[in-house]
Each structure stands twice: as C-alpha cells, then as structure tokens.
Chains A and B, each alone.
Chain A
Amino acid sequence: MLDIAFKDFKAKKSRALMCIIGVMVCVLLIGTVNNVLYEMENGLKGDLGTVNGKLYFEKNGTGFPPYGSILNEELGDEVLNQSQVNREKSTKALFSALEGTQTDSGFSIIIVGLTPGKEQAFIQNATVNGKSSLVGEADNAIIMGSEAAIKYNATVGETITVNDNQYKVIGIMNKQGTGWPLSIDYSMVMALNKAQNISSMPNLTSTVIIIPSSSYTIQSAETSLQDTYPKYSILSEQDAEKTIDKNLSQIRIFMNMINAFIFIVSIVFIMNVMMMTVKEKTKEIGTMRAIGTRKRSIMKLIIYESLIMSVIGGIIGIILISPVYNLMGLLMGYTGIDFLSFYIPPLVLVQLLVIIFVIGTFSGLLPAYLANRISPIEALRYE
C-alpha cells in the first residue's frame, strides 16, 4: 500500500504541497524554538563553570552574576579571615554592569574588580592571550573576555576608551565553551579599587569569591560559613544550578506552550487536508472496498499518504533549521556565522523526528477512520 500511497501523493501535487509546507513550517518553528532553548540552557549551564569549585559569599537572595549584592569591604575582609577560606586564593570582588555598553546581542559589559594576583579565583581555567595577572600592571590594566574584546575591537597591548575611561588591555580570554557566550566572555577584569572608582562604589564589593581551605570540602565550607553568616547567601555550583533551573523552567514552559500550539495547529491543518482527500476519494475508496480491499488496507493507505507528506515536509524543515537559526543570529548582530555549517543538537533532532512521526500518524488517523466508515454501496453512487 505504501507504493499506492506514494502514487496517490504524486497525483495530487497541490494538495501534497500544502501539507508539506504545513509540516515544514511546523518542524522549522519547533526546531528553531528548541534550538534556542537548547543553546540558552547550554549558555546558562555553562556559567556554572564560573562557579565550579568555589563559593560566592553574597547578600541574601542574589544570584549569579551578583550585581545586586552589596557588601562592605570590612565584612569581606572578615570572611576572608575565616578558617574555611583559603585566603591566598580567595578574593573580594565587585560585579557591575557597565552602563551604555550593550553588545549587539543585548548583553552589557560586566566589570569584575578583584584583588590583583587573585584573578584565577574568577577566570580559573580560561586561556588568556597576553597576561593573566594584574600584578605590577598599571592601575587601568584590564583582562578582557572574548565578547568584550570583540565589542571594542581590542588587541593585547593597546589602550581602549570605554565611557570616557581609558584602559590598557594586558590580556584577552579565549571564548568559553562552544555555545552562546557566557558572563565571563562579557567581562572586563580589573583591580578592585579601579572597579570601585568607575562604579562609584568606594569601599564596597558584591561578593567574596571563596576557594575553601585544604581542610574543607566545598560542601563542608558552605555549611560551615552558612552557619556563621545565616543572614547571607553562600552560593555554590548547586545553588547556581537551582537558580538557573528555576529561571529556565519558566522559559521552558513558555517555549513548550508555543511548541504545543504549533504542533496542534499543524495536526489540525494536515488532518483537514486529509479529510478533504478522503472526501475527494470517496468513490475510489468505494471501488477499492467493492473489489475486496480490506478496511485495514484503506486505513494504511490514508495514514501512509499522511506520513509521506509529513516526512517530506519534516525533512525539508530540519534542513532549513540551521540556516534559519544562523540568519536569526545574523539579524541579532552576531558576527562570524558560518552559513555552510549545519548543526542541530541530537536531542532536538530526535524530538523533531518523533514530532514528524506523530503528526503524520495522528493527522491520518481520523480521516482513515472516516474512510473506513464509507459504505461501498453509497461510495459507488457518489459523484
């Protein structure tokens, strides 16, 4: 019956084209939405790497990056002197979004001020072109994240001007991960006092980045510090993950609602076209039934036809996802997009294949059921 369904499909080109376009648009939209969601998750989860192996001491209720947290330096010094804290590697830090510095992708440049010599507490495993330490450098020395460097077209050794302030670029970090840029990629790491001056926050910090002392694990240091400072938050990788998951769950619900809507509209659309097909084919179905075609075979014929259209539309949709996604990136201002690259996360691909199969099958079911209810006697009289 599959070959008959295929010949039927070829014979009704305009109707088939309508269905194919319907499924293609559905797969394209769902695929793009899921791709965005996937990249967003990847990006946000990637930020966890910035928190990995350390703790952020901050004002209660603040997430990451801890813009909203304000601590005075005395408290920071007190925390650094706790036995749970490796004082040599930990540092007070000030995080501040630099006004008027939005990149093309909509994110602002983040000032990260910390004690020179303790840059590793923040930049950790990042590969730096140039110098990775502010020690012995000028007061205005900075280490830039990859996106920040692109924004100001900065190269190592040159001096750039940002909001009327001049900075000497001593190092540029390579981009972190393969997905969307992370917070670290938008950062400008500088000496704490310089960051305090620019942000007009003298003697204030946002957080203390804590590397636990050798006698503590991350968990035990977190518990112990939390007991000591019950009114403050000790943000660990797990906490950051929870915050990210909480934020993502709402986005996921919204995105899935969009997906469900597109999915249902698509099924109804194809079902409608298939119903028209069954109506058009009433006499043919009657003839088939009269010459001994079983009801099951008629059902297969209708479902196969619906599946063929769904698969063709779905495959075209899948092929178009990557170019459309790249085009979206281009419109959003990303540079360096390779239009010849084709990438769909395997999980998204599996989701789409399931969707194609479900659309093809379900949208054919009701028309197939109706086709089976056609009486051959009535159908043979049908004109």
Chain B
Amino acid sequence: MDGLVKGVGLWKTYKLDVTEVHALRGLDITVDQGEFVAIMGPSGSGKSTLLNMIGCLDTPTKGELYIGDEKTSDMSDKELTRMRAEEIGFIFQTFNLLPALSVRDNVEFPMRNLSGKLKPNKTNRVKRAEEVLELVGLTDRMNYLPAKLSGGERQRVAIARALVNKPKFILADEPTGNLDTEATENIIKLLHEVNAEGNTVIMVTHDKDTTHDTRILRIRDGVIQN
C-alpha cells in the first residue's frame, strides 16, 4: 500500500430526518511519510469530516481508508481507540490540555493509553515527557498548570503531547487559530522542525500564511480539487 494515509472513494453521508447530506463525495487522498500537508477549504466543505476520519474519530459511510497497512474504515470503536493512541498525535485549535494536570502530566498522559509492551513504566513515561518538553522548549514550565501558561506555550505543550507516543503522523486542527501573529509564527516554525525530523504533519487551516513549504490540499463540496 502506497502512502502513509490513503483514502479511496470516501463518502460520508448524514441523515437529517428524510434528507441525506453528503459531507464527503467520493474523496481520494494520499499523504506520504514525512510530508507536511495543509488541508484548506471553506466552512462546510468537509474539512472537519475528513479530519475526523483520518484521525480515526469517525469512519466513512463508503470507501476505504488506510493508515499504514491498517484499514481503518472497517475498524470497531475499540480498534479505532487503539489507533488513536498508538498512531496519531492530535493538536487542537483550543489546545485541549487537561486543566487539573501539570504540563509534565499532560504530556505524560497519552503514554498511559498505550497497552502491552508499548506502555512504558512510570519512570520512563516521566523521562520521555521531559525529553519532549525539552524539544519544544518548555523545560522550565514542566510543573505549571496549563492555566498559568500563555496561548503559545499551551500549544507547545499540545505539540509535545502529540509527539510523545512517536505517532505515525500528527493531525493539527487549526493549531494557530487561537494565537497571535508571533505565537503563530513560532508554532508553525516548531511544526516544521518536527516535520524536518521525519514526522508527518497533516494540518487543517484557514490561514494561508501558515501554509508555506507545505503541500496544500484544497477541499470543496466534499472532494479534493487539486
């Protein structure tokens, strides 16, 4: 199977009473290992639906979706949960850090979701969390609660959290949507650094300025146009 993420003929249909709404209409997509892909499109174009599918939060009504060699379009909820834990790193627009946990605990948290041999012990989890926080430049903020951090710092924590399980790719949903210009530049720079180290990044964005040096996929009416 070519491509790290490969979707063939993806349809997503929602039923509203008797009306059927097609969010995706036979969409094809391929993202290769090591790429930085930006998905752009207007509201209601199907961006979020596609993101949910690639992120294993949803499955297509029709079509096939592969992540690596695994066909996720037919997976059960339990298998999708495992995929999200092991293979995908999420970055959200509103950071979505757990407010009661310190920065270190937030970054350590995804490692608890691994199972079997993949799950490190407590000492190794903390060690790995500290390594990743060093990578995003937040060593001095490790014991802070998220509420004490700036927006840019919170998004850095979210990036560290996304990286901590060494996922196959990072899925960023408008990661700079809540940040000022300076923080936006820093986060995009950091995402490029992460990408340069071999991590695949798939980013949904409205902001054209954040898409330099990326492959842009434009989505409209449930299909990719370029």
Contact = CB atoms under 8 A, between A and B. Distances in A.
Nearest to A376: B57
Interface in B96-154: 96, 98-101, 105, 109-110, 112-114
A197 B113 CA distance: 87
Interface in A1-31: 1, 4, 7-8, 10-12
Interface string A277-311: 00000011011111111110100000000000000
A380 interface: yes
Interface stretch (B79-87, B196-204, B210-218): B79-87
Interface residues of A, number: 23
B11 interface: no
B115 to A, nearest CB: 8
Contacts of A377: 52, 57-58
Contacts of B83: 292
B55 interface: yes
Nearest to B49: A377
Contact of B113 (A284, A293, A380): A293
B90 interface: yes
B81 A284 contact: no
A7 B100 contact: yes
B57 A290 contact: yes
Contacts, number: 65
B161 A7 contact: no
A289 B52 CA distance: 13
Contacts of B84: 290-292
Contact of A380 (B96, B105, B112): B96
A376 B90 CA distance: 13
A291 B113 contact: yes
A90 to B, nearest CB: 76
A317 to B, nearest CB: 26
B101 A291 contact: no
Contacts of B57: 290, 376-377
Given A11-B99, A377-B58, A291 B52 contact: no
Nearest to A10: B100
A290 B90 contact: yes
A35 B98 CA distance: 44
Contacts of A297: 112-113
Contacts of B114: 292
Nearest to A284: B98
19 contacts: A1-B112, A4-B105, A7-B101, A7-B105, A11-B100, A12-B100, A284-B98, A287-B96, A288-B98, A289-B81, A290-B57, A290-B84, A292-B81, A292-B86, A293-B81, A294-B113, A295-B77, A376-B57, A377-B52
Interface of A: 1, 4, 7-8, 10-12, 283-284, 286-295, 297, 376-377, 380
Query: Nearest 8 pairs between A and B by C-beta?
Result: A292-B85, A11-B100, A292-B113, A292-B84, A287-B96, A8-B100, A7-B100, A291-B110
